[in-house]
Amino acid sequence: RMHKIMGGEGGNALRNMLVSDPDSRPRAQDFFDRWLAESLRSFGRPGSPRSKRAIELGLRQRDSAEVIRDYLAALEPSVTACGLRLPSRAQLGLDLPAGVGLA
């Protein structure tokens, strides 16, 4: 749901706010970094036994690694348009799959 909001009216509102008040960008970046870490946690740990079991039971169609890659790729244009950046792996402190576009 939040992803849809960021890509739609919510993203436009955030972009407009940051354009009209560029001094708020560092604070917005801090909030975004925390929000992103929480949203990525919601997908679960990639390649974990729990993730594999969820796929076996039909609760998920694919591993968290694939979901995370797609999620970040879809989110990146909105983040860039807002003048923000994706945080580094170290900043997030999460076990993330290779090739997700984070430094």
Q: How many CB atoms lie within 10 A of CB 101?
A: 11
Is the confidence at residue 58, as pLDDT, over 90?
yes
Query: Which residue did the predictor score with more confidence, 7 or 63?
Result: 63
Q: Considering only CA atoms, which of 94, 101, 83, 78 is closest in space to residue 29? A: 83
- 51 half-sphere exposure, CB direction, 13 A CA radius: 15
Q: What is the pLDDT of residues 22-40, one digit of tens each?
A: 788 888 888 888 888 888 9
| Confidence at 49, pLDDT banded by 50, 70, 90 | very high
Q: Considering only CA atoms, which of 102, 100, 99, 97 is closest in space to residue 47? A: 97
